[in-house]
Amino acid sequence: MNVEQIGDFGRARASDYSGQVVLISNVCDEIGAGVARDLASMNAIVGLCGVDKKALQSLFTEITDRGGRAIALPISTAEAVSEVVDDVYTRIENIDILVNNLGATADCGIAELSVHDFKNNIDSSLVRSFAFLREVVARMRSRGYGRIINITDLSYLGLAKKGNLAAAHAAIFGLTRSIALETAPAGITVNTLVKGDMSAADMSVSDAEKIAKRIPVKRIGTVADVVHAINFFSAKSTAYVTGQTLFVCGGMSAYFSMSV
Amino acid sequence: MGFADRVAIVTGSASGIGRQTALRLAERGAAVVINDIDGDKVRNTVDEFRRNGWRVTGVVSDVSKKAEVENMVKETIDKFGQIDILINNAGLERAGALRKLSESDWDLTIDVNLKGAFLCTQAVHGYMVEKKYGRIINISSRAWLGGPGQAPYASAKAGLVGLTRTLTLELGRNGITANCIAPGLIHTPLWEELPEKDKAFLLSKVPTGQLGKADDVAEAVLFFADDAAGFISGQVLYVCGGRSLFSG
Protein backbone atom coordinates (compact mmCIF):
# COMPACT_ATOMS: atom_id res chain seq x y z
CA MET A 1 0.00 0.00 0.00
CA ASN A 2 1.31 3.44 -0.75
CA VAL A 3 0.10 6.85 0.34
CA GLU A 4 -1.94 7.42 -2.80
CA GLN A 5 -3.87 4.21 -2.19
CA ILE A 6 -5.11 5.19 1.25
CA GLY A 7 -8.79 5.78 1.13
CA ASP A 8 -9.06 4.70 -2.48
CA PHE A 9 -12.79 4.09 -2.42
CA GLY A 10 -12.87 2.42 -5.82
CA ARG A 11 -10.19 -0.19 -5.14
CA ALA A 12 -10.94 -3.81 -4.24
CA ARG A 13 -9.56 -4.45 -0.76
CA ALA A 14 -8.75 -7.56 1.21
CA SER A 15 -10.80 -6.36 4.17
CA ASP A 16 -14.35 -5.15 4.39
CA TYR A 17 -15.85 -3.31 7.33
CA SER A 18 -19.44 -3.17 6.08
CA GLY A 19 -21.81 -2.70 8.98
CA GLN A 20 -19.00 -1.78 11.38
CA VAL A 21 -18.67 1.54 13.16
CA VAL A 22 -15.28 3.04 13.96
CA LEU A 23 -14.78 5.92 16.36
CA ILE A 24 -11.50 7.83 16.00
CA SER A 25 -10.79 10.13 18.94
CA ASN A 26 -8.76 12.59 16.90
CA VAL A 27 -8.77 12.92 13.12
CA CYS A 28 -7.17 16.35 13.07
CA ASP A 29 -3.70 15.04 12.27
CA GLU A 30 -2.40 13.08 9.31
CA ILE A 31 -2.51 9.72 11.07
CA GLY A 32 -6.07 10.09 12.36
CA ALA A 33 -7.32 11.39 9.01
CA GLY A 34 -5.48 8.60 7.17
CA VAL A 35 -7.03 5.91 9.35
CA ALA A 36 -10.48 7.46 8.82
CA ARG A 37 -10.07 7.55 5.02
CA ASP A 38 -8.80 3.99 4.93
CA LEU A 39 -11.53 2.44 7.04
CA ALA A 40 -14.24 4.48 5.30
CA SER A 41 -12.93 3.25 1.95
CA MET A 42 -13.55 -0.28 3.21
CA ASN A 43 -17.18 0.56 4.01
CA ALA A 44 -16.91 1.31 7.72
CA ILE A 45 -19.01 4.10 9.18
CA VAL A 46 -16.44 6.44 10.71
CA GLY A 47 -17.05 8.69 13.70
CA LEU A 48 -14.69 11.63 13.29
CA CYS A 49 -13.73 13.37 16.53
CA GLY A 50 -11.52 16.42 16.89
CA VAL A 51 -11.02 19.85 18.35
CA ASP A 52 -10.39 21.63 15.04
CA LYS A 53 -13.88 22.06 13.62
CA LYS A 54 -12.64 23.26 10.23
CA ALA A 55 -10.36 20.24 9.72
CA LEU A 56 -13.12 17.96 10.92
CA GLN A 57 -15.65 19.38 8.48
CA SER A 58 -13.18 19.21 5.61
CA LEU A 59 -12.47 15.51 6.23
CA PHE A 60 -16.17 14.77 6.69
CA THR A 61 -16.97 16.42 3.35
CA GLU A 62 -14.13 14.62 1.60
CA ILE A 63 -15.21 11.18 2.84
CA THR A 64 -18.92 11.64 2.20
CA ASP A 65 -18.30 13.17 -1.24
CA ARG A 66 -16.40 10.03 -2.15
CA GLY A 67 -19.29 7.83 -1.13
CA GLY A 68 -18.12 7.02 2.39
CA ARG A 69 -20.23 7.20 5.52
CA ALA A 70 -19.09 9.48 8.34
CA ILE A 71 -20.27 11.50 11.31
CA ALA A 72 -18.47 14.68 12.37
CA LEU A 73 -18.15 14.95 16.16
CA PRO A 74 -16.52 18.18 17.36
CA ILE A 75 -15.11 17.75 20.83
CA SER A 76 -13.11 20.05 23.06
CA THR A 77 -12.81 18.55 26.53
CA ALA A 78 -12.57 15.16 28.20
CA GLU A 79 -15.87 15.91 29.90
CA ALA A 80 -17.56 16.16 26.50
CA VAL A 81 -16.54 12.64 25.49
CA SER A 82 -19.49 11.04 27.24
CA GLU A 83 -21.90 13.24 25.31
CA VAL A 84 -20.21 12.48 22.00
CA VAL A 85 -20.23 8.73 22.57
CA ASP A 86 -23.90 8.91 23.63
CA ASP A 87 -24.59 10.77 20.40
CA VAL A 88 -22.97 8.01 18.32
CA TYR A 89 -24.95 5.31 20.08
CA THR A 90 -28.18 7.26 19.65
CA ARG A 91 -27.58 7.72 15.93
CA ILE A 92 -25.96 4.38 15.02
CA GLU A 93 -26.48 2.19 18.08
CA ASN A 94 -23.04 0.72 17.94
CA ILE A 95 -19.25 1.14 18.04
CA ASP A 96 -17.15 -1.82 16.92
CA ILE A 97 -13.73 -0.22 16.79
CA LEU A 98 -12.18 2.60 18.80
CA VAL A 99 -8.95 4.21 17.62
CA ASN A 100 -7.47 6.51 20.25
CA ASN A 101 -5.11 8.97 18.59
CA LEU A 102 -4.35 11.66 21.14
CA GLY A 103 -1.11 13.16 22.33
CA ALA A 104 0.76 15.60 20.10
CA THR A 105 2.93 18.11 21.96
CA ALA A 106 5.94 20.35 21.51
CA ASP A 107 9.40 19.37 22.80
CA CYS A 108 10.08 20.74 26.25
CA GLY A 109 12.81 20.09 28.81
CA ILE A 110 11.87 19.72 32.46
CA ALA A 111 13.22 23.17 33.40
CA GLU A 112 10.88 24.83 30.91
CA LEU A 113 7.91 22.57 31.56
CA SER A 114 5.49 24.13 34.01
CA VAL A 115 3.22 22.04 36.20
CA HIS A 116 0.30 23.72 34.49
CA ASP A 117 1.49 22.70 31.00
CA PHE A 118 2.32 19.20 32.18
CA LYS A 119 -1.20 18.78 33.53
CA ASN A 120 -2.69 20.15 30.33
CA ASN A 121 -0.75 17.65 28.31
CA ILE A 122 -1.80 14.76 30.52
CA ASP A 123 -5.39 15.95 30.18
CA SER A 124 -5.39 16.24 26.41
CA SER A 125 -3.78 12.88 25.79
CA LEU A 126 -4.10 10.48 28.74
CA VAL A 127 -7.27 11.71 30.42
CA ARG A 128 -9.10 12.16 27.16
CA SER A 129 -8.01 8.69 25.96
CA PHE A 130 -9.25 7.26 29.24
CA ALA A 131 -12.58 9.05 28.82
CA PHE A 132 -13.08 7.43 25.40
CA LEU A 133 -12.09 4.02 26.74
CA ARG A 134 -14.38 4.30 29.73
CA GLU A 135 -17.42 5.24 27.64
CA VAL A 136 -16.86 2.76 24.84
CA VAL A 137 -15.65 -0.32 26.73
CA ALA A 138 -18.83 -0.62 28.78
CA ARG A 139 -20.97 -0.73 25.65
CA MET A 140 -18.62 -3.10 23.81
CA ARG A 141 -18.69 -5.41 26.80
CA SER A 142 -22.45 -5.65 26.72
CA ARG A 143 -22.29 -6.70 23.06
CA GLY A 144 -19.39 -9.12 23.57
CA TYR A 145 -17.23 -7.62 20.82
CA GLY A 146 -14.78 -4.81 20.34
CA ARG A 147 -11.44 -3.77 18.90
CA ILE A 148 -9.51 -0.94 20.55
CA ILE A 149 -6.23 0.50 19.35
CA ASN A 150 -4.41 3.16 21.35
CA ILE A 151 -1.84 5.04 19.29
CA THR A 152 1.23 6.33 21.13
CA ASP A 153 4.79 6.98 20.06
CA LEU A 154 8.37 5.96 20.83
CA SER A 155 8.73 8.72 23.39
CA TYR A 156 6.91 6.54 25.90
CA LEU A 157 10.18 4.65 26.36
CA GLY A 158 11.76 7.90 27.50
CA LEU A 159 13.28 10.52 25.21
CA ALA A 160 14.98 13.77 26.18
CA LYS A 161 12.66 16.78 26.21
CA LYS A 162 9.63 14.55 25.80
CA GLY A 163 8.86 14.04 29.48
CA ASN A 164 5.28 15.24 29.19
CA LEU A 165 4.46 12.93 26.30
CA ALA A 166 6.50 10.06 27.78
CA ALA A 167 4.47 10.25 30.98
CA ALA A 168 1.13 10.27 29.14
CA HIS A 169 2.06 7.52 26.71
CA ALA A 170 3.69 5.27 29.29
CA ALA A 171 0.44 5.52 31.21
CA ILE A 172 -1.49 4.52 28.11
CA PHE A 173 0.80 1.48 27.79
CA GLY A 174 -0.20 0.36 31.31
CA LEU A 175 -3.82 1.31 30.77
CA THR A 176 -3.96 -0.82 27.62
CA ARG A 177 -2.66 -3.88 29.43
CA SER A 178 -5.05 -3.41 32.36
CA ILE A 179 -8.10 -2.99 30.19
CA ALA A 180 -7.02 -5.90 27.99
CA LEU A 181 -6.99 -8.19 31.02
CA GLU A 182 -10.36 -6.88 32.18
CA THR A 183 -12.07 -7.21 28.82
CA ALA A 184 -10.46 -10.32 27.32
CA PRO A 185 -13.31 -12.63 28.41
CA ALA A 186 -15.80 -10.27 26.74
CA GLY A 187 -14.41 -10.59 23.22
CA ILE A 188 -12.73 -7.20 23.28
CA THR A 189 -9.11 -6.74 22.28
CA VAL A 190 -7.08 -3.71 23.35
CA ASN A 191 -3.68 -3.05 21.84
CA THR A 192 -1.13 -0.24 21.64
CA LEU A 193 0.43 0.92 18.40
CA VAL A 194 3.66 2.83 18.91
CA LYS A 195 4.61 5.19 16.10
CA GLY A 196 8.20 5.91 15.21
CA ASP A 197 9.40 8.91 13.20
CA MET A 198 6.67 9.84 10.74
CA SER A 199 6.72 12.06 7.70
CA ALA A 200 4.80 15.30 8.04
CA ALA A 201 3.61 17.87 5.56
CA ASP A 202 5.81 20.54 7.13
CA MET A 203 8.98 18.40 7.20
CA SER A 204 11.76 19.45 4.84
CA VAL A 205 13.43 16.89 2.59
CA SER A 206 16.79 17.40 4.30
CA ASP A 207 15.25 16.91 7.74
CA ALA A 208 13.53 13.74 6.55
CA GLU A 209 16.82 12.42 5.15
CA LYS A 210 18.65 13.22 8.37
CA ILE A 211 16.08 11.36 10.46
CA ALA A 212 15.94 8.41 8.05
CA LYS A 213 19.68 7.81 8.42
CA ARG A 214 19.32 6.72 12.04
CA ILE A 215 16.35 4.43 11.42
CA PRO A 216 17.33 0.78 10.74
CA VAL A 217 15.20 0.53 7.57
CA LYS A 218 16.60 3.91 6.41
CA ARG A 219 13.34 5.69 5.79
CA ILE A 220 10.77 7.54 7.83
CA GLY A 221 7.28 6.24 8.37
CA THR A 222 4.13 7.11 6.48
CA VAL A 223 0.44 7.10 7.23
CA ALA A 224 0.21 3.90 5.15
CA ASP A 225 2.59 2.13 7.52
CA VAL A 226 0.38 2.93 10.50
CA VAL A 227 -2.79 2.09 8.61
CA HIS A 228 -1.46 -1.40 7.85
CA ALA A 229 -1.07 -2.10 11.57
CA ILE A 230 -4.45 -0.55 12.43
CA ASN A 231 -6.05 -2.88 9.93
CA PHE A 232 -4.43 -5.87 11.58
CA PHE A 233 -5.62 -5.02 15.08
CA SER A 234 -9.09 -3.98 13.83
CA ALA A 235 -9.80 -7.26 12.07
CA LYS A 236 -12.28 -9.78 13.41
CA SER A 237 -9.63 -12.42 12.73
CA THR A 238 -7.21 -11.12 15.39
CA ALA A 239 -9.26 -12.08 18.43
CA TYR A 240 -6.29 -13.85 20.02
CA VAL A 241 -4.07 -10.74 20.02
CA THR A 242 -4.73 -8.50 23.01
CA GLY A 243 -2.78 -6.33 25.43
CA GLN A 244 0.09 -6.08 22.97
CA THR A 245 2.44 -3.26 22.06
CA LEU A 246 3.45 -3.08 18.42
CA PHE A 247 6.02 -0.56 17.25
CA VAL A 248 5.65 0.82 13.75
CA CYS A 249 9.02 2.47 13.77
CA GLY A 250 11.31 0.99 11.13
CA GLY A 251 13.17 -1.00 13.77
CA MET A 252 14.07 1.95 16.04
CA SER A 253 12.62 0.12 19.04
CA ALA A 254 15.50 -2.36 18.82
CA TYR A 255 17.73 0.40 20.21
CA PHE A 256 15.69 0.49 23.42
CA SER A 257 15.32 -1.90 26.32
CA MET A 258 11.69 -2.28 27.46
CA SER A 259 10.58 -2.70 23.86
CA VAL A 260 9.72 -6.41 23.78
CA MET B 1 -2.46 -7.49 -0.52
CA GLY B 2 -1.61 -10.71 -2.33
CA PHE B 3 1.67 -12.59 -2.50
CA ALA B 4 1.59 -13.49 -6.20
CA ASP B 5 5.16 -12.37 -6.87
CA ARG B 6 6.62 -13.75 -3.68
CA VAL B 7 8.53 -16.91 -2.84
CA ALA B 8 8.42 -18.17 0.75
CA ILE B 9 10.27 -20.86 2.66
CA VAL B 10 8.34 -22.07 5.69
CA THR B 11 10.38 -24.43 7.83
CA GLY B 12 8.57 -27.16 9.71
CA SER B 13 5.56 -26.68 7.49
CA ALA B 14 4.24 -30.20 7.06
CA SER B 15 2.01 -29.83 10.12
CA GLY B 16 0.61 -27.44 12.73
CA ILE B 17 1.34 -23.71 12.65
CA GLY B 18 3.88 -24.05 9.84
CA ARG B 19 1.44 -25.91 7.62
CA GLN B 20 -1.34 -23.40 8.19
CA THR B 21 1.06 -20.53 7.48
CA ALA B 22 2.22 -22.18 4.26
CA LEU B 23 -1.40 -22.77 3.28
CA ARG B 24 -2.39 -19.14 3.83
CA LEU B 25 0.59 -17.88 1.83
CA ALA B 26 0.00 -20.35 -0.99
CA GLU B 27 -3.72 -19.63 -1.30
CA ARG B 28 -2.85 -15.95 -1.70
CA GLY B 29 -0.51 -16.65 -4.54
CA ALA B 30 2.96 -17.16 -3.04
CA ALA B 31 5.22 -19.94 -4.25
CA VAL B 32 5.92 -21.89 -1.08
CA VAL B 33 8.59 -24.35 -0.01
CA ILE B 34 7.24 -27.02 2.34
CA ASN B 35 9.96 -28.27 4.66
CA ASP B 36 10.12 -30.93 7.35
CA ILE B 37 12.37 -33.79 8.40
CA ASP B 38 9.52 -36.25 7.78
CA GLY B 39 9.46 -37.08 4.07
CA ASP B 40 5.99 -38.64 4.06
CA LYS B 41 4.45 -35.60 5.72
CA VAL B 42 6.16 -33.28 3.25
CA ARG B 43 4.91 -35.31 0.28
CA ASN B 44 1.35 -35.44 1.64
CA THR B 45 1.25 -31.70 2.25
CA VAL B 46 2.71 -30.88 -1.16
CA ASP B 47 0.26 -33.22 -2.91
CA GLU B 48 -2.68 -31.72 -1.07
CA PHE B 49 -1.63 -28.14 -1.80
CA ARG B 50 -0.99 -28.91 -5.47
CA ARG B 51 -4.50 -30.27 -5.83
CA ASN B 52 -5.64 -26.71 -5.12
CA GLY B 53 -3.46 -25.46 -7.95
CA TRP B 54 -1.01 -23.79 -5.61
CA ARG B 55 2.68 -23.35 -6.43
CA VAL B 56 4.56 -25.47 -3.91
CA THR B 57 7.58 -27.70 -3.68
CA GLY B 58 8.78 -29.93 -0.89
CA VAL B 59 12.25 -30.18 0.59
CA VAL B 60 13.07 -32.73 3.26
CA SER B 61 15.84 -31.29 5.40
CA ASP B 62 16.97 -30.86 8.98
CA VAL B 63 17.30 -27.13 9.66
CA SER B 64 19.98 -27.74 12.28
CA LYS B 65 22.36 -29.10 9.60
CA LYS B 66 24.11 -26.44 7.54
CA ALA B 67 24.56 -28.63 4.45
CA GLU B 68 20.88 -29.60 4.42
CA VAL B 69 19.80 -25.97 4.81
CA GLU B 70 22.05 -24.91 1.95
CA ASN B 71 20.56 -27.67 -0.17
CA MET B 72 17.03 -26.44 0.66
CA VAL B 73 17.94 -22.92 -0.38
CA LYS B 74 19.58 -24.14 -3.61
CA GLU B 75 16.50 -26.18 -4.48
CA THR B 76 14.31 -23.13 -3.83
CA ILE B 77 16.40 -20.94 -6.10
CA ASP B 78 16.55 -23.64 -8.79
CA LYS B 79 12.78 -24.03 -8.69
CA PHE B 80 11.51 -20.48 -8.12
CA GLY B 81 14.52 -18.22 -8.78
CA GLN B 82 14.20 -16.02 -5.68
CA ILE B 83 13.46 -15.99 -1.94
CA ASP B 84 11.42 -13.12 -0.49
CA ILE B 85 9.98 -14.53 2.72
CA LEU B 86 11.54 -16.82 5.30
CA ILE B 87 9.42 -18.21 8.13
CA ASN B 88 11.64 -19.86 10.74
CA ASN B 89 9.03 -22.09 12.29
CA ALA B 90 10.69 -25.50 12.74
CA GLY B 91 10.88 -26.31 16.41
CA LEU B 92 10.59 -28.88 19.13
CA GLU B 93 10.62 -28.99 22.90
CA ARG B 94 12.42 -31.17 25.41
CA ALA B 95 10.86 -30.23 28.75
CA GLY B 96 11.66 -31.34 32.26
CA ALA B 97 12.99 -30.36 35.65
CA LEU B 98 16.48 -28.92 35.55
CA ARG B 99 18.04 -31.91 37.32
CA LYS B 100 16.46 -34.32 34.84
CA LEU B 101 17.40 -32.60 31.60
CA SER B 102 20.26 -34.17 29.67
CA GLU B 103 22.92 -32.42 27.65
CA SER B 104 21.33 -33.84 24.52
CA ASP B 105 17.93 -32.37 25.53
CA TRP B 106 19.58 -28.96 25.66
CA ASP B 107 21.57 -29.40 22.45
CA LEU B 108 18.66 -30.71 20.40
CA THR B 109 16.30 -27.93 21.53
CA ILE B 110 18.83 -25.18 20.88
CA ASP B 111 19.95 -26.73 17.59
CA VAL B 112 16.51 -27.01 16.00
CA ASN B 113 14.82 -23.89 17.39
CA LEU B 114 17.70 -21.43 17.41
CA LYS B 115 20.61 -22.69 15.34
CA GLY B 116 18.13 -23.72 12.64
CA ALA B 117 16.79 -20.17 12.38
CA PHE B 118 20.33 -18.81 12.24
CA LEU B 119 21.40 -21.23 9.50
CA CYS B 120 18.31 -20.63 7.38
CA THR B 121 18.60 -16.85 7.71
CA GLN B 122 22.30 -16.92 6.93
CA ALA B 123 21.66 -19.04 3.85
CA VAL B 124 18.83 -16.91 2.40
CA HIS B 125 19.75 -13.37 3.33
CA GLY B 126 22.17 -12.88 0.43
CA TYR B 127 19.31 -13.37 -2.04
CA MET B 128 17.23 -10.85 -0.12
CA VAL B 129 20.05 -8.30 0.02
CA GLU B 130 20.51 -8.68 -3.73
CA LYS B 131 16.84 -7.82 -4.32
CA LYS B 132 16.77 -5.20 -1.55
CA TYR B 133 13.70 -6.91 -0.19
CA GLY B 134 13.01 -9.51 2.45
CA ARG B 135 10.64 -10.54 5.19
CA ILE B 136 12.03 -12.77 7.96
CA ILE B 137 9.58 -14.02 10.56
CA ASN B 138 10.77 -16.09 13.48
CA ILE B 139 8.22 -18.16 15.35
CA SER B 140 9.29 -17.81 18.96
CA SER B 141 6.95 -18.57 21.85
CA ARG B 142 5.40 -16.83 24.80
CA ALA B 143 7.45 -19.38 26.72
CA TRP B 144 10.58 -17.29 26.06
CA LEU B 145 9.46 -15.30 29.11
CA GLY B 146 10.40 -18.37 31.16
CA GLY B 147 8.52 -21.23 32.77
CA PRO B 148 9.25 -24.16 35.08
CA GLY B 149 10.64 -27.14 33.17
CA GLN B 150 11.33 -25.12 30.07
CA ALA B 151 15.01 -24.24 30.44
CA PRO B 152 16.14 -25.32 26.96
CA TYR B 153 12.97 -24.23 25.16
CA ALA B 154 12.69 -20.82 26.85
CA SER B 155 16.38 -20.19 26.20
CA ALA B 156 16.10 -21.12 22.53
CA LYS B 157 12.97 -19.02 22.02
CA ALA B 158 14.55 -16.08 23.87
CA GLY B 159 17.52 -16.47 21.56
CA LEU B 160 15.17 -15.91 18.62
CA VAL B 161 14.18 -12.53 20.08
CA GLY B 162 17.82 -11.44 20.22
CA LEU B 163 18.40 -12.80 16.72
CA THR B 164 15.37 -10.89 15.41
CA ARG B 165 16.49 -7.59 16.89
CA THR B 166 20.01 -8.12 15.56
CA LEU B 167 18.75 -8.90 12.06
CA THR B 168 16.65 -5.73 12.20
CA LEU B 169 19.68 -3.59 12.91
CA GLU B 170 22.00 -5.47 10.55
CA LEU B 171 19.77 -5.98 7.51
CA GLY B 172 17.27 -3.11 7.72
CA ARG B 173 19.21 -0.97 5.26
CA ASN B 174 18.60 -3.64 2.61
CA GLY B 175 14.82 -3.49 2.69
CA ILE B 176 14.69 -6.54 4.92
CA THR B 177 12.50 -6.67 8.01
CA ALA B 178 12.77 -9.23 10.80
CA ASN B 179 10.01 -9.89 13.30
CA CYS B 180 9.09 -12.44 15.91
CA ILE B 181 5.75 -14.00 16.74
CA ALA B 182 5.31 -15.44 20.21
CA PRO B 183 2.33 -17.81 20.24
CA GLY B 184 0.73 -18.85 23.49
CA LEU B 185 -1.54 -21.88 23.87
CA ILE B 186 -2.37 -23.09 20.38
CA HIS B 187 -4.47 -26.06 19.35
CA THR B 188 -2.03 -28.76 18.21
CA PRO B 189 -2.12 -32.58 18.17
CA LEU B 190 -0.18 -32.50 21.47
CA TRP B 191 -3.01 -30.54 23.09
CA GLU B 192 -5.45 -33.37 22.37
CA GLU B 193 -3.27 -35.79 24.31
CA LEU B 194 -3.42 -33.74 27.52
CA PRO B 195 -5.66 -34.86 30.42
CA GLU B 196 -8.81 -32.75 30.75
CA LYS B 197 -7.75 -31.30 34.10
CA ASP B 198 -4.46 -30.09 32.58
CA LYS B 199 -6.34 -28.48 29.71
CA ALA B 200 -8.66 -26.71 32.13
CA PHE B 201 -5.73 -25.49 34.23
CA LEU B 202 -3.85 -24.14 31.21
CA LEU B 203 -6.92 -22.42 29.80
CA SER B 204 -7.56 -20.78 33.17
CA LYS B 205 -4.28 -18.89 32.63
CA VAL B 206 -5.43 -17.37 29.34
CA PRO B 207 -7.30 -14.06 29.80
CA THR B 208 -9.57 -14.71 26.81
CA GLY B 209 -10.25 -18.19 28.19
CA GLN B 210 -9.74 -19.54 24.69
CA LEU B 211 -7.33 -21.90 23.01
CA GLY B 212 -5.64 -20.29 20.04
CA LYS B 213 -5.76 -21.71 16.54
CA ALA B 214 -2.89 -22.24 14.13
CA ASP B 215 -4.65 -19.75 11.89
CA ASP B 216 -4.38 -17.03 14.56
CA VAL B 217 -0.62 -17.32 14.21
CA ALA B 218 -0.78 -17.56 10.42
CA GLU B 219 -2.76 -14.31 10.38
CA ALA B 220 0.07 -12.57 12.23
CA VAL B 221 2.65 -14.07 9.88
CA LEU B 222 0.75 -12.70 6.88
CA PHE B 223 0.66 -9.28 8.52
CA PHE B 224 4.45 -9.15 8.88
CA ALA B 225 5.07 -10.82 5.50
CA ASP B 226 3.02 -8.22 3.61
CA ASP B 227 4.68 -5.70 1.32
CA ALA B 228 2.91 -3.02 3.38
CA ALA B 229 4.81 -4.00 6.55
CA GLY B 230 8.14 -2.54 5.45
CA PHE B 231 8.28 -0.10 8.38
CA ILE B 232 7.65 -2.77 10.99
CA SER B 233 10.80 -4.54 12.13
CA GLY B 234 12.37 -5.89 15.31
CA GLN B 235 9.01 -6.64 16.88
CA VAL B 236 7.79 -9.44 19.12
CA LEU B 237 4.07 -9.92 18.66
CA TYR B 238 2.38 -12.23 21.14
CA VAL B 239 -0.54 -14.23 19.80
CA CYS B 240 -1.60 -15.63 23.12
CA GLY B 241 -5.04 -14.38 24.15
CA GLY B 242 -3.38 -11.91 26.52
CA ARG B 243 -1.44 -14.51 28.50
CA SER B 244 1.83 -12.62 28.07
CA LEU B 245 0.38 -9.83 30.23
CA PHE B 246 0.26 -12.02 33.30
CA SER B 247 0.63 -15.77 33.57
CA GLY B 248 0.80 -16.26 37.32
Please choose, from the candidates A190, A196, A180, the residue with its C-alpha nearest in 3D space to the C-alpha of residue A259: A196
Residue A257 DSSP code: S
Question: Which pTM value belongs to this model?
Answer: 0.96
Q: What angle do CA A32, A62, A237 make, to 5 degrees?
A: 50
Contact A248 B231 (CB under 8 A): yes
Q: Please tell me the distance from the alpha carbon of residue B89 to that of residue B94, in angstroms, as a whole number.
A: 16
Contact A243 B245 (CB under 8 A): yes
Chain B positions in Cβ-Cβ contact with residue A251 (cut-off 8 Å): 168-169, 172, 177, 233-234
What's the confidence (pLDDT) of residue A78? 83
Q: What angle do CA B79, B82, B85 make, to 5 degrees?
A: 110
What's the confidence (pLDDT) of residue A4? 44
Q: Considering CB atoms only, which of B215, B223, B242 is closest to A180?
A: B242
Provide CB contacts within 8 A for A164, sequence distance 6+. A105, A108, A113, A117, A118, A121, A122
Answer whether A145 touches B (CB < 8 Å). no
Q: Please tell me the distance from the alpha carbon of residue A71 to that of residue A98, in angstroms, as a whole number.
A: 14
Least confident of A72-81, A233-242, B200-209, B219-228: A72-81
Distances (CA, A) of B70 to A158, B59, B177: 43, 11, 21
The yes/no answer on whether domain A21-194+221-249 falls in CATH 3.90.199.10 is: no
CB B113 within 8 A of CB B62: no
Shortest Cα–Cα distance, A22 to chain B (Å): 21
Q: Considering CB atoms only, which of A185, A215, A222 is closest to B207?
A: A185
How large is the C-alpha radius of gyration of chain A?
18
Q: Please tell me the distance from the alpha carbon of residue A81 to that of residue B219, in angstroms, as a whole number.
A: 34
Chain B positions in Cβ-Cβ contact with residue A246 (cut-off 8 Å): 232, 235, 237
Distances (CA, A) of B51 to A53, B41, B46, B86: 57, 16, 9, 24
Q: Please tell me the distance from the alpha carbon of residue B111 to that of residue B91, in angstroms, as a whole number.
A: 9
Contact B238 A239 (CB under 8 A): no
Closest-CA residue in chain A for B174? A217
Q: Please tell me the distance from the alpha carbon of residue A243 to that of residue B242, in angstroms, as a whole number.
A: 6
Q: Considering CB atoms only, which of A1, A238, A247 is closest to B219?
A: A238
pLDDT band of B204, cuts 50, 70, 90: very high
Q: What is the pLDDT of residues B4-52, one digit of tens each?
A: 999 999 999 999 999 999 999 999 999 999 999 999 999 999 999 999 9
Q: What is the pLDDT of residues A30-79, one digit of tens each?
A: 999 999 999 999 999 999 999 999 999 999 999 999 999 999 999 988 88
Point out the residues of chain A with pLDDT beneath 70.
1-8, 10-14, 104
Closest-CA residue in chain A for B213? A240
Complex confidence, ipTM: 0.95
Count other Cβ atoms within 10 Å, centred on residue B166: 14
CB B128 within 8 A of CB B174: yes
Task: Give the rounded percent of residues in chain B with a pLDDT score beyond 70.
Answer: 100
Please choose, from the candidates A53, A96, A88, the residue with its C-alpha nearest in 3D space to the C-alpha of residue A74: A53
Q: What is the pLDDT of residues A203-229, one digit of tens each?
A: 999 999 999 999 999 999 999 999 999
Length of chain B: 248
Q: Please tell me the distance from the alpha carbon of residue A213 to that of residue A189, in angstroms, as a whole number.
A: 35
Answer whether A96 touches B (CB < 8 Å). no
Is B153 considered catalytic here?
yes
Q: What is the pLDDT of residues B135-151, one digit of tens each?
A: 999 999 999 999 999 99
Answer whether A193 touches B (CB < 8 Å). no
